[in-house]
Structure 1
């Protein structure tokens, strides 16, 4: 091997030692410092978490003493206890991280600084000794560089092994950390996921089994809707039994004397609500807004007889479902709207003499 190649091999070996002293060991020291800060941050988080879930548990205990939310209180207490156990497990993992990772790295980086510095000094001393021997051989006219070449190659291999050993140590420690986290997740995650689903089912059961207390606005809307229904009931006559058959031809005659056939005779009405189809063949179905020809002069038991304008079928239907076609359509009543809000009161005159007299007015 030429002297240039030997010099390059020597510089490469020195570069490995310099990398360990100037980059790896300082980097490991920074990792240790950051790890300690990481643990301190978790300890603060753990303390806050303990306070938070302890307070959550107290609220669950309050719910246990209510008449409406006892089962929900039990769920809240279970959630708080599960989270506190999870925090304790995490606390144990961080204690392991401190003892098995941070402390080992901190101890090794202190020892390694002296070890690598000593290894480099020994290497440089051996290189100096070999170089002196080669100079003496050169002065005698005979120079054998084989032994020196083997020494440089072996030294470089040793330096590379030391470099690899340190990065392997770093990787192994954090592989173990990842395994510890995975074991914790398998231990707590599956059970917590299953329990969370059970808690959700319990919460949904309370929503389905017992009606929740409506808000004030919802209560007002419900009262207004009840009033609207009562108002509608007052307008609708009670329905008796459906007449057994259609009207006689005599009742279907119009005022002019002609026989009303549903096309030229009878009153035209407009459906204000829909009448759903029925298995009873004597009933007439239609949709809201349809024109209906009424073929009887007066309701029977609250029923009218007629036919749809666009249908040949005839039948009975509730009299309250239609209104005269020439009457303005009723505006739809929005849900929760006061049906009395649009009522206009007529002005009234009172003869109350208790009020003050206007100046100059004779009563």
Structure 2
């Protein structure tokens, strides 16, 4: 693997670490691990720089030098060998020539009548031959020594270059060791407990838990301004008490009178919420006080009128028709039931209610699902934060349900409603809008026209219910 390949692979690894650090930094639970990954990437980058320097040194100080040395030595050694061979040949030939002359001289001496005259010359050839042989042997020994020295020089050069590379490698590993020795304990501490979340993540989880608790206690929220249905509209003035409502509030009907119209027809379930009866005060006078005799005489002299059907203020709105000598009475704005109302329901044993909206429990097994028109038997004395517990008579399922989605079903009207539901004659939201005698309550209860228009046009999961009654 060459240097470019190593650099390319290292860059890919570095980029991957940085990307993983970015992803971890975006998580509230792993932000510290993202910082650790960034530190790892930086340490890896520094180590990679040292590695590249080491590779450059290896190439420049070892490979390049070896290539140059081999090229020079090839020419030098070839020339030295040729010179040695020539000189060796010359010395060898001179020795052989002396040996040949000595042989000739000895043959002459053997055939001569006076061999003594050749003895002196023969001694000279023997000395010359011995001298040349010693010279040749010395030449060979010197050549051998020179060859060993040249060989050693080459090996020493290789070892020296390798030592330079080893020094750079040692510096590379030493710096890497220093960096990793400082960082590894911190990194290991960061990942020592995978189940331990950072303080910020725990704080967010606690906020979500408290938020879900608030949602469970008041599950119906508006989509604008985070208004809870059980709270009064911000900035709204207390609603004045119309004479018709004062008759119901002040008569002997008590809490049951709030749930039933003059002709016994049930109104939409609701309560005055946290403000209690003071929500219906006018001019600082609490509605909880009994009416004066003059008011009683006035209210008793008024003829009773039939209550119209209930409809939601989130339906498509028609232009309000001119008043036809009819007074529109609104139900209380808040939906959850009070304990006093639930106590009124329990006068005659278990009460029954009829669904006016559909409700789906979803994945929550503790909630009760029902459709519009279903009959539900209440199984607990009173509602809790706007939620009641009952049994759907259709499928015999039990669970909690929003009490504001239902209306009280009197025993006398059970059969009549059952027959009407069987023939499909119940009024739908569309039918309510087609009726000419139906009109929305006018903004005469202290609400500004702008606030009423917003409440009419705003779509919500389940609306604030303001029932209109034609009297």
Give the TM-score taking structure 2 as reference length: 0.35
- In the superposition, the TM-score normalised over structure 1's length comes to 0.45
Bigger relative contact order, structure 1 or 2 (CA pairs below 8 A, ≥6 apart): 2
Larger of the two Rg values belongs to structure: 2
